[in-house]
């Protein structure tokens, strides 16, 4: 806002004080400038009159007024722009925070699930490794406790060869044999028991099978042993000339001697850690024995005539 006023110059004031009327000087325009956007009143220059009273006048030219007005308007515009930008920022910040919270919640939840999954996988893997190592240690330790099998003796109860015919009607000598085999089974293990089975016990005359018998399966606890007796029999076995005919007389029976082989395989299975850790043991036994007619009904000692593998 600009206001135009007529102000007397200093020379005119001095002339009036002395009562003389000097020639008039040209009048000068004085402008008061106030910025509408600025609440602070601009400082004005103080002029001293000869009377010593201050006059709050600001002397400027129209060019200076124009520059000040442009500067004030630019400052006000810049300030309004900054205020408007700050208000927009204040309005946007809560939304941004909400979005960040939602994103953080989603990422945090997914990250938590992923971390829990990784921990679970690591725990399972560590458990499998430790369990495998522990099982391997037990399995290796069990191999140092192999079961022991000893065939003590065999008793031939009776032996008979007589003429006959096989199932197809072919005439041949027929053999009947009845015997019992006694063996000792020992489990030296200190931390597991074993389940024991075996293949059939067989008596052979070279390649000809004369008798067989099946041992009953059983369970043997740790650090224990038992004696097992198995019946091995042969009934009406066709010889087809494999064994020379033996007269059925007492004298010839006492003199007969027929070499035989007794064979069997003892199988032991240990469940060390339930069904998860198992250990198997096999013991192959082959004994040489001679059937003598004068020792029927008496035990034939086999402790030194058997091979164990």
121, part of any domain: no
With bands split at pLDDT 50, 70 and 90, how would you rate the model's confidence at 252? low
CA distance 279 to 142: 7
> How many domains does the structure of the chain reveal?
2
Q: What is the pLDDT of residue 57?
A: 41
- Residues 282, 151: one domain? yes
- Residues 165, 263: one domain? yes
193, part of any domain: yes
Range 98-127 average pLDDT? 73
237, part of any domain: yes
For the chain, what percent of residues have pLDDT higher than 90?
A: 35
Residue 295 tokens read as 């020792």
CA distance 121 to 116: 9
* pLDDT tens-digit series, residues 200-236: 999 999 888 999 999 999 999 999 999 999 999 999 8
* pLDDT tens-digit series, residues 155-195: 999 888 888 888 888 888 888 999 999 999 999 999 899 99
- Residues 21, 166: one domain? no
- Residues 187, 297: one domain? yes
Range of the domain at 206: 147-308
Residue 240 tokens read as 């087809």
Q: What is the pLDDT of residue 267?
A: 96
With bands split at pLDDT 50, 70 and 90, how would you rate the model's confidence at 1? very low
Range 260-281 average pLDDT? 91
Q: What is the pLDDT of residue 58?
A: 43
204, part of any domain: yes
pLDDT at 30 over 90: no
- Residues 155, 302: one domain? yes
CA distance 292 to 298: 10
Q: What is the CATH number of the domain that holds 302?
A: 2.60.40
191, part of any domain: yes
Range 54-81 average pLDDT? 49
15, part of any domain: yes
* pLDDT tens-digit series, residues 108-121: 666 678 888 889 99
Is 215:154 a contact under the CB 8 Å cutoff? no
Choose one of 16, 43, 60: the last residue of a domain.
Answer: 60
Q: What is the pLDDT of residue 168?
A: 84
């Amino acid at each position: 806002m600009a206001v135009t006023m007529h102000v007397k110059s200093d020379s005119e004031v001095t002339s009036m004080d002395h009562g003389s009327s000097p020639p008039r000087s040209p009048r000068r325009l004085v402008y008061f400038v106030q910025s509408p956007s600025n609440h602070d009143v601009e400082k004005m220059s103080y002029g001293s009159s000869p009377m010593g009273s201050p006059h709050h006048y600001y002397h400027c030219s129209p060019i200076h007024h124009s520059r000040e007005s442009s500067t004030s308007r630019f400052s006000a515009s810049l300030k309004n722009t900054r205020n408007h930008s700050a208000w927009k920022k204040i309005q946007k910040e809560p939304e941004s925070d909400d979005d960040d919270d939602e994103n953080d919640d989603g990422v945090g939840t997914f990250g938590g699930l992923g971390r829990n999954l990784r921990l679970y996988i690591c725990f399972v893997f560590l458990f499998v490794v430790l369990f495998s190592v522990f099982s391997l240690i037990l399995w290796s330790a069990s191999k140092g406790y192999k079961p022991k099998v000893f065939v003590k003796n065999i008793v031939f109860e009776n032996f008979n060869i007589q003429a006959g015919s096989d199932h197809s009607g072919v005439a041949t000598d027929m053999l009947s044999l009845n015997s019992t085999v006694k063996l000792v089974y020992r489990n030296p293990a200190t931390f597991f028991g074993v389940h024991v089975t075996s293949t059939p016990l067989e008596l052979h005359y070279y390649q000809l099978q004369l008798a067989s018998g099946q041992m009953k399966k059983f369970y043997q606890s740790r650090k224990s042993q038992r004696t097992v007796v198995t019946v091995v029999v042969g009934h009406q076995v066709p010889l087809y000339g494999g064994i020379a005919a033996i007269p059925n007389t007492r004298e010839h029976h006492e003199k007969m001697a027929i070499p035989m082989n007794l064979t069997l395989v003892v199988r032991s299975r240990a469940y060390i850690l339930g069904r998860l850790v198992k250990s198997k043991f096999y013991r192959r036994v082959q004994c040489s024995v001679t059937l003598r007619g004068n020792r029927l009904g008496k035990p034939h000692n086999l402790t030194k005539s058997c091979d164990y593998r």
